[in-house]
Structure 1
Amino acid sequence: MTRDDLTALLAEQTPACGPAREALLTGGAFVVWDGLVPAYRVAGTYRARLGITRRRGQPTLALAETVEILGSAGDELLRIGRIDAADRPWTFMLFLDATATTVLACAGVATARNETA
């Protein structure tokens, strides 16, 4: 998948999609993995991550909404992608359909980056 392909897929699925698209447009690193995973399995993982981020007070974008979307998708097979913003400390997780032609959900998590020279 190319940067342009992924940029075109990011619409308004969740409020994190716009910032994720902007991260791509400004040179953020990205990957979409080949493997498929059932949505219910990913939903459980990200439900746990939601709890962890809340306990830590870590900023997120659309993580709770993404967990709901994944939980509703049941047995649907998904591809997972990731975008790391180049100019700010955010990582965006993308959840695409099995053919990687539609983004079902997108969530952002603020990350701590070590700013050393």
Structure 2
Amino acid sequence: MERHVLESLLAGDDEASVIALATLRSGATYWVADRAQPAGQHAGVFKRRLQRMRMHGLEPLGLERAVQLIREHGRPVRTGFVDAADRTWTTLLFLTEDGSALVACAGWPLPLVARKPPLQERGWRTLGLTWTSIPGEAAGNATVGHPR
């Protein structure tokens, strides 16, 4: 798919599309699959990824809505990615089977690092394992399923 075609598909007003278009116009790399896959397959996979991201304190922009939209679409979708030139952001695209329209998109910052250990917030004790923090925040302890 040519860059100008993808830019025209990202003309939506949702935040994920706006960011994807700005990223693409600023020199991002992109990739679009040649073949489509069943929408239900993608919806299931990305619903689980959304749950895992949230479990680790991450909230991807538009992913919950994207899962809903591709499930409602019900027909095969092509996937794609737009990766910022500086590798700080990625956008996941879901296109119609023929690539003529955007079904949904979602994005998140890179690298994926947890902001806070999720179980620590629930009163679980840590076992002294370290976890990676976002630059500018102090590292903490990982938590592993042992209640206090």
Normalising by structure 1, what TM-score? Answer: 0.89
Instruction: Give % identity.
Output: 36
Which whole-Å CA distance do the structure 1 matches of 2:36 and 2:14 have between them? 21
What are the Cα deviations for residues 55-89 of structure 1, in whole angstroms up to 9, with x where unaligned? Answer: 11124111111011112122x01111100011451
SS in 2 for 1:72: helix
Tell me which residue corresponds to 1:44: 44
| Aligned residue in 2 for 1:65 | 65
Is 1:103 equivalent to 2:94 in the alignment?
Answer: no
Contact residue 73 and residue 103 of structure 2 kept, 8 A: no
Aligned residue pairs: how many? 112
For 1:39-58, what per-residue CA distance to the aligned partner results, in whole angstroms no more than 9, with x for missing partners?
11100011001101111112
- Structure 1 residue 7, shift from structure 2 partner: 0.5
2:60 maps to a residue whose letter is T
Higher relative contact order structure (alpha carbons within 8 Å, sequence separation ≥ 6): 1
The answer to whether the 8 Å contact 1:14/1:106 transfers is no
SS at match of 1:37: coil
More helix by share: 1
Between the aligned partners of 1:11 and 1:88, the Cα distance in structure 2 is: 22
Q: Which structure has the greater CA radius of gyration?
A: 2
CA contact (8 A) 2:83 2:89 kept: yes
Taking the aligned partners of 2:49 and 2:26, their CA distance within structure 1 comes to 27
Q: Which runs of 5+ in 2 are unaligned?
A: 113-148
Q: Residue 30 of structure 1 corresponds to which residue in structure 2?
A: 30
Aligned CA RMSD, in angstroms, stands at 1.5
Is there any run of 5+ residues in structure 1 with no aligned partner, and where?
none
Equivalent residue of 2:94, what SS?
strand
